[in-house]
């Protein structure tokens, strides 16, 4: 682990006392610094706050928002809430998975540019079906519109 990473974990840990009460909040801070929960960061946090690594793993695997693996540069979240589902959101997710050549129906592309996630629900049901890329929510999506947006992000890379 780089020394700069170690320093940023130390900065996060400064705000926390030992004990479990703020465990989720601590993990959220680590994730927002790294994009995921690096094992080394959790080990360091565990040593300093006297929390076993198994506890971190239990919490990280229980809640949907935690990632134990590095994520793609851009995260594409296809909403599969009920309103999106009845408007064929599943076809959108499958289309993105095909475009990114993923093995399953979720995951990260081999070039690490994109991570596809199915989420339920983003609470923008009036715009169903909804696709979120990073922090931007796109409403009333079709496969064509989704492909256009995907291509924009691909172009930005170049």
**Which residues make up the interface to other proteins (CB under 8 A)?**
20-25, 27-28, 58-59, 62-66, 80-83, 85-88, 91, 94-95, 98, 119-128, 130, 135, 137-139, 142-144
Please say whether the beta carbons of 100 and 63 come within 8 A: no
Q: How far is the CB of 140 from other proteins (least distance, A)?
A: 8
Q: Which of 97, 39, 32 is nearest to 69 (CA)?
A: 39
Q: How far is the CB of 2 from other proteins (least distance, A)?
A: 26
Q: Between 88 and 110, whose beta carbon lies closer to other proteins?
A: 88
Q: Between 116 and 119, whose beta carbon lies closer to other proteins?
A: 119
Q: Between 9 and 128, whose beta carbon lies closer to other proteins?
A: 128
Residue 76's beta-bridge partner residues?
116, 133
Please say whether the beta carbons of 75 and 122 come within 8 A: no
Q: How far is the CB of 95 from other proteins (least distance, A)?
A: 6
Terminal Cα distance for the chain, rounded? 29
Q: How far is the CB of 26 from other proteins (least distance, A)?
A: 8
At 108 the three-state DSSP class reads strand
Rounded to 5 degrees, φ, ψ at 117 are -130, 140
- State how far the Cα of 77 lies from the Cα of 49, in Å rounded to an integer: 33
Q: How far is the CB of 4 from other proteins (least distance, A)?
A: 26
| Number of other residues whose CB lies within 10 A of the CB of residue 40 | 14
Q: Between 102 and 128, whose beta carbon lies closer to other proteins?
A: 128
Q: Between 76 and 119, whose beta carbon lies closer to other proteins?
A: 119
């Amino acid at each position: 682990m780089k020394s700069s990473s170690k320093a940023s974990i130390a900065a996060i840990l400064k705000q926390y006392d030992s004990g479990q009460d703020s465990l989720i909040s601590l993990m959220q801070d680590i994730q927002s610094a790294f994009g995921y929960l690096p094992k080394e960061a959790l080990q360091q946090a565990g040593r300093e706050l006297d929390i076993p690594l198994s506890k971190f793993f239990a919490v990280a695997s229980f809640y949907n928002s935690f990632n134990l693996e590095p994520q793609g540069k851009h995260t594409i979240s296809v909403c599969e809430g009920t309103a999106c589902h009845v408007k064929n959101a599943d076809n959108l997710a499958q289309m993105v998975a095909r475009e990114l050549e993923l093995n399953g129906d979720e995951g990260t592309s081999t070039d690490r540019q994109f991570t596809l996630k199915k989420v339920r629900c983003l609470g923008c049901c009036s715009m169903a079906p909804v696709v979120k890329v990073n922090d931007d929510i796109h409403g009333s999506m079709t496969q064509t519109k989704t492909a256009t947006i995907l291509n924009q992000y691909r172009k930005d890379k170049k």
